[in-house]
Amino acid sequence: MEKYDSRFFVYSDPKMDYMVYELPPTWWSRYYEYEWASKFTGAEDTVLDAGCGICHPFKFHLSDVCKEVHACDLDKRILSPEAIINNILNDCGNKVSKPALLAYCQKIRFNQCSITSLPYEDKKFDKIFCISVLEHMSPQDIKLSLGEFKRTLRDNGLIVLTFDYPTINLEQFKDTVNEVGLNFVGSFTFNMPEDAVTSNLWGKLYCYRTVLKKHQL
């Protein structure tokens, strides 16, 4: 299925501008990332939103459609529902319902940690989502994070990733995937399409998507 293919997002891809609340216009890639990543959820899944962010709503969406949801971030505010709600209201406007947000927070199991050292047991998750996080990390920390994803992923599980380019070297990323003991699930291409989704907000950026799994013995 095409959803498993690793490639750049293009403007003709499906997108959404609302997930739990209206997405700010500056979240240029999230419209596409959330629409795509949401296709991998399952009602019986135990999932992790790794590096979930404070105001980002994908963790809340997961709690609507998955059995058990964990979310972690390095930011200490992730342990405070009040801080999460205040950040959402500041970034996304006052049309969001505080009681609804509090209910969402109560459904999710939060942890403050680095994704380079996850506080979860081996083979815990059916799916691990990591949306626009790896581009903020060094190559060594990316390798450590992928290793932790592999460790905490069930044998038939999936790792669903997006990240900005050219912040990450794609050939180096492919080598790291192999070194860690992961495989690309579908086909992959590093070719840049003419209609690739792009933004100039923080320099010329594009957004790449990929789905990984463990090597099958």
Averaged pLDDT, 58-63: 98
**What is the model's pLDDT at position 217?**
55
**What is the model's pLDDT at position 137?**
97
Question: Which amino acid makes up residue 131?
Answer: I
Domain of 37, CATH number, reads 3.40.50.150
119 pLDDT higher than 60: yes
Question: What tokens were used for 188?
Answer: 């992959």
150 pLDDT higher than 80: yes
pLDDT confidence bin for 94, thresholds 50/70/90 = low
Q: What is the mean pLDDT of the chain?
A: 95
Q: Mind listing the pLDDT tens digit for each residue in 19-44?
A: 999 999 899 999 999 999 999 999 99
Enclosing domain of residue 168? 2-214
Averaged pLDDT, 173-194: 96
Q: How many domains does the chain have?
A: 1
1 pLDDT higher than 90: no
Q: Where are the alpha helices (DSSP H) in the chain?
A: 30-37, 58-65, 81-92, 98-107, 139-152, 170-180
Q: Which of 172, 173, 126, 171 is nearest to 149 (CA)?
A: 126
pTM, two decimals, is 0.97
